[in-house]
Every structure is written in C-alpha cells, then in structure tokens.
Amino acid sequence: MLSTMQDAPLTVTRILQHGMRIHATSRITTWTGEPEPQRRSFREAGERASRLAHALRDELGIDTGDRVATLMWNNAEHLEAYFAIPSMGAVLHTLNLRLPPEQLVWIVNHAADRAVVVNASVLPLLVPLLPHLPTIEHIVVSGPGDRSALAGADTAARVHEYEELIAGRPASYDWPELDERSAAAMCYTSGTTGDPRGVVYSHRSIYLHSMQVNMSESMGLTDKDTTLVVVPQFHVNAWGLPHATFMTGINVLMPDRFLQPAPLAEMIEREKPTHAAAVPTIWQGLLAEVTANPRDLSSMRHVTIGGSACPPALMKAYDKLGVRVCHAWGMTETSPLGTMAHAPAGLSADQEWPYRVTQGRFPAGVEGRLVGPEGEFLPWDGESAGELEVRGPWIASAYYGGAGGEPIRPADKFSEDGWLKTGDVGVISPDGFLTLTDRAKDVIKSGGEWISSVELENALMAHPEVAEAAVVAVPDERWGERPLATVVLKEGATVGYGTLKEFLGGTVAKWQLPERWALIPAVPKTSVGKFDKKVIRRQYADGELDVTEL
C-alpha cells in the first residue's frame, strides 16, 4: 500500500526560495573592519545568488554536476555561492584555506574543479598553486584585497570580478527540478593521516540536517536570533548554519577574515548576536581577551562548541559570564551534527552538569553503537568503552572516488553492514548520552590499561595558571606507553611541574599521572583548530622538546 502524500524533493533550492520569500527581511551582516559592516537582506542575497547562477552558466559554462570551488572567508558572497551553485545543479566544493599547499593541489585535482571563487585577500595562497591546477578554467575574485599577483599568474584560466560578473543579470533564475539524492556540496577531510578524503553531501542530506540544526534539542534558533558563524564555511558546511538560517530566518553575522579575539569581542558587543558556533580554541582566545579587556557579551545566550572536547573549566568560565556553552559532536562525514549535550528536563544546575560535559544525545536522525576490540557490540551502560559507529540520513556511506571513479569504502572507515567507524572511543549511558574518552589513535595504552588523554588535558586546563595542555602517548620500556604532558602557561604564570602533578592527583588515578612534562609556547593546531598531537609526538621523537621527568 502506498501513501497519499505528495513527493516534493528536498533540495537546497527549496531552502533558498523559502528564505527569500518567508524571511526576506532577515539579514546577513559581514564584518569589514570598517566603522560600518556590510549588510544584506535574505531577499537581496537570494537575488544575487540568482545572478551568480546566470553568470556561472552563461559566462563560465558551468553545467549540471560540475564542481565549483570556493576559497573564501565567512561572508555574504560565500553564502550566495552556497545557494547558487547547488541550486543550479552544480556541486559546491569548499576549500580549506588553512591546508598545506600540496594538500590543496591534491584536493582540487581529485575533485576536478572547473572554477574557483576566491576572496582577493586569499590570492597569495591560490596564485602559486595555479600552475598545478589544470582543471581550473575560471577564477572569480571577490571582496577587497590586492589583485596584482594575478597579473603574472602561470595559468590559462580566465579571471573575472565577482561584482562585474553578476552585474546586470536577472534577479531570478529558472531553477531546475533536481533529484534530491544528487550531489549538492562536497568537503574533504583534513588528511591528518594519508590523503584527504572527499565527502559528498546530497540535497536531501543537507535539507534533513538543516531541519535537525533548527530543532530545539539542537541549536533551536529562530528569526529572533542572530548567530555569529565563526566556524569556517569551508569546514563541514559551517556546521549546517548557512542552510539552517535560511530555513528559519535566523539573522547571520559573518566575521570574514577578522577571526582574532579582539575583533570577535567587538563584533559581539556592537552587533549583539544571541548565539555563536566555533571550536574550543576560539572561545579560549575570546575568554582571555575579555578577561584582559572587558566587553559586553550579555547578548549571547548560548554558544555551540564542537570540533574537539571542550574543557569543563572553559564551560564554567563562560557560565560566570552568563553565556551557556552547549557541547556538540560531529565530523566531516556526519554533516556534522551527531550529538548535542542538552541536559534532561527538570534538573538543577548542579544536576545538569554531568550531562553538559558529555558530547550529548543522538537526535532521531542518528543511530549510534559501540564496538569492542573483538568486534562485539557493547551495552549502553555508561561504563563499557568502545569505538563509536554511526549511521543515518546525513551520515556518509562512502568517500568520493574522483571524477569518474567508484565510491570508496575502506574497511577501516565503514563496517560490513554500512555503519561509519568514527575513530572515537567512548561510552554511552542508558539514556543515550555519549561521552567520548579519546580518539582511538590518541588513547594511551599503558601496561594493558587505557589512559584517556582528553581526561588528563581537561584536568590540567582546570588549573588557574594553565592556558592549554595537550597529552600524548610516548614509548616507555616498562609500560609500553606513558603520557607526556605538554603545557602552555598563562602569561606571567610560574607554576611548576610538581605542583601540576599534585593538582592532577586530585582528579585522576595515581597510576595515570604523567612522569614526563614539557612547557611549550602553544599547542599545535590542525587547519580547523583541533589539537594536532602528531606534531607533538614527532617533536618528542626528534628531541625537540625540553622534557623533565618527575
């Protein structure tokens, strides 16, 4: 028996049209570093997206399925590309401008991008790569910045100015009726081990993910909110916020290239966003800034933190400022929303805390399970630790195999029955709250027992004189592996290793306490702001760290 319901495809186009019509006056504000930011309504942005689609098709010859890359900061023009490119049937490919040049070259060639839309301020990164990017036929330059590097660029690609390209073109577009399962956007993993891997999002997955972002159990924003989108648009669709905002009319504040703590603090004080999203390192920097130079953050009711575990001490510090932090977990392969840590109803603040420091509960669209070292499925008892596997309508089932290639399903990333192996180790409580104890590759295997590097880091960062801490496994003749604690002290701090070890002893078992310690100026970060522990392991192996043994 079939249903009697209409079959309307779930596409990015529908999100765009809804935002333009129903939330026409909602606004996109882009920070410019000038006294007045750039402001644009959803209707205006939608009309400009239509003009961009005309330009891509008529002037550049972009067709259905063609990949169009962006190498851009978070701004209104990038948002226009987010909608124009998928809605016309092409594929948006966001490039991570913080990746090493050789990885960017590999990614563009693997995706076979035909065109790239680039902010002028990023041209010094792009131009040296152009001789190695044979598939790029068009370069579209947007925003302020020096264009002179293009004059002698070694490329056959045609160069266009964004504003000149879209000027005079129709403000509406006859959007094609697309298959909701066709490709809309793609993003490559950061390639911390081996080559980056391409994840291709469908129109359907983006639509369903956007609905989940707007659920009250997720970010729960409305047209009365303004979200400060610090998480880069080149990283997992900016956690789904560009699409979710047009679906619900959420006002958008884009920081462009002004991602340092001082301008972020000024943005919040002047533009008064109610919500923001970014990785923990952003919020640690902002906290240090507003501690040294107080700013009014009272408009921000809540913050979504993901990308890596948020230190509980950081959450408590923002609580004191009246800003509630909500932990989230996800990855490129999960679009990225996997869990969010809203405590159950009816609890006091003290009772909520154990739930808030978890990664949160799975939404209805995501199923999770834990797998033990022998492949056995583990119970949700809050104690049995295993690797997290997930599946759902916005979870990847394979990686992009390159132009004309078959999808790739490596056994270390996908189970035989199709679940995504996340590489995260953790436990799940009986009521579905996920607590990640570590990445599988970062667990310290000492004398047959596991030590969580994340637990040690969080405990260290709770010390008032510690700014950051990263813990890695290093070889040990007796125990196989032992923890090395690398610590970044706050300015002017003088605390010693012995005091820190004693401080740790108040929260973790004695056998887990590190014997090896080193002070470092900053914890190395990946291109998306996560701790890059492989760098620390290499520095230790090469004797570059000044290590003290206690």
Q: What is the pLDDT of residues 13-39, one digit of tens each?
A: 999 999 999 999 999 999 999 999 999
Q: Is pLDDT at 183 greater than 60 in this prediction?
A: yes
**Cα-based distances in Å from 62 to 163, 203, 258:** 18, 18, 32
List the one residue out of 462, 504, 506 whose CA is nearest residue 483.
504
Strands 324-329 and 339-340: antiparallel
Label each residue of 455-499 as H, E or C: HHHHHHHCCCCEEEEEEEEEEECCCEEEEEEEEEECCCCCCCHHH
The CATH superfamily holding the domain 366-440 is Luciferase; Domain 3 (2.30.38.10)
pLDDT at 479: 85
**Cα-based distances in Å from 465 to 23, 459, 468:** 47, 12, 9
Q: Which CATH architecture has domain 442-549?
A: 2-Layer Sandwich (3.30)
pLDDT digit string (tens) for 452-464? 888 899 899 999 9
Q: Is pLDDT at 194 greater than 70 in this prediction?
A: no
List the one residue out of 210, 90, 87, 89 whose CA is nearest residue 138.
90
Amino acid at the residue 332 = T
Q: Using a cut of 0.95, tell me whether the model's pTM lies above it.
A: no
Strands 115-119 and 158-161: unpaired
pLDDT at 191: 56
**Tokens 């637990």 appear where?**
455
Per-residue pLDDT, averaged over 519-526, amounts to: 91
pLDDT at 310: 86
pLDDT digit string (tens) for 138-181? 999 999 999 999 998 999 999 999 999 999 999 999 999 999 99
Question: Contact at 8 Å (CB) between 157 and 149?
Answer: no
**Cα-based distances in Å from 392 to 298, 359, 397, 407, 446:** 37, 18, 9, 18, 35
Question: Contact at 8 Å (CB) between 166 and 142?
Answer: no
Reply yes or no: is the peptide bond before residue 280 cis, omega within 30 of 0.
no
Q: Which of 25, 164, 441, 445 is catalytic?
A: 445
Active site residue 507: no
Question: Contact at 8 Å (CB) between 440 and 387?
Answer: yes
Active site residue 394: no
Cα separation, 42 vs 246, in Å, equals 8
pLDDT at 529: 78
pLDDT at 192: 54
Q: How confident is the model at residue 437 (pLDDT cuts 50, 70, 90)?
A: confident
pLDDT at 507: 85
Cα separation, 159 vs 138, in Å, equals 6
What are the residue ranges spanned by the domains of the chain? 8-27+38-196, 366-440, 442-549
Amino acid at the residue 390 = V
Q: Sign of the C-alpha dihedral, residues 97, 98, 103, 107?
A: negative
**Cα-based distances in Å from 367 to 359, 363, 394, 481, 547:** 14, 8, 11, 33, 43
Q: How confident is the model at residue 89 (pLDDT cuts 50, 70, 90)?
A: very high
pLDDT digit string (tens) for 471-481? 999 998 888 88
Mean per-residue pLDDT of the chain: 94
pLDDT digit string (tens) for 369-402? 999 888 999 999 999 999 999 999 999 999 999 9
Per-residue pLDDT, averaged over 339-364, amounts to: 96
Q: Which of 333, 387, 389, 468 is catalytic?
A: 333
Q: Which of 106, 450, 515, 525 is catalytic?
A: 450
Cα separation, 143 vs 162, in Å, equals 8
pLDDT digit string (tens) for 321-336? 999 999 999 999 999 9
Q: Is 419 helix (H, G, I), strand (E, B) or coil?
A: coil
Active site residue 445: yes
Q: Which of 70, 155, 189, 526 is catalytic?
A: 189
Q: How confident is the model at residue 528 (pLDDT cuts 50, 70, 90)?
A: confident
Q: How confident is the model at residue 115 (pLDDT cuts 50, 70, 90)?
A: very high
Q: Please tell me the least confidently modeled range out of 122-136, 260-274, 405-419, 428-442.
A: 428-442
Q: Is pLDDT at 404 greater than 90 in this prediction?
A: no
Active site residue 450: yes
- Say which residues have a Cβ less than 8 Å from residue 305's Cβ, sequence separation at least 6: 277, 278, 279, 280, 283, 325, 326, 327, 328
Asked, colleague to colleague, whether 366-440 and 442-549 share their fold, the answer is no
pLDDT digit string (tens) for 254-269? 999 999 999 999 999 9
Q: Is pLDDT at 225 greater than 90 in this prediction?
A: yes
In CATH terms, the fold of domain 8-27+38-196 is: Rossmann fold (3.40.50)
Q: Is pLDDT at 448 greater than 80 in this prediction?
A: no
Q: Is pLDDT at 61 greater than 90 in this prediction?
A: yes
Per-residue pLDDT, averaged over 472-495, amounts to: 91
Q: Is 377 helix (H, G, I), strand (E, B) or coil?
A: strand
Percentage of the chain modeled with pLDDT above 70: 99
Q: Is pLDDT at 193 greater than 80 in this prediction?
A: no
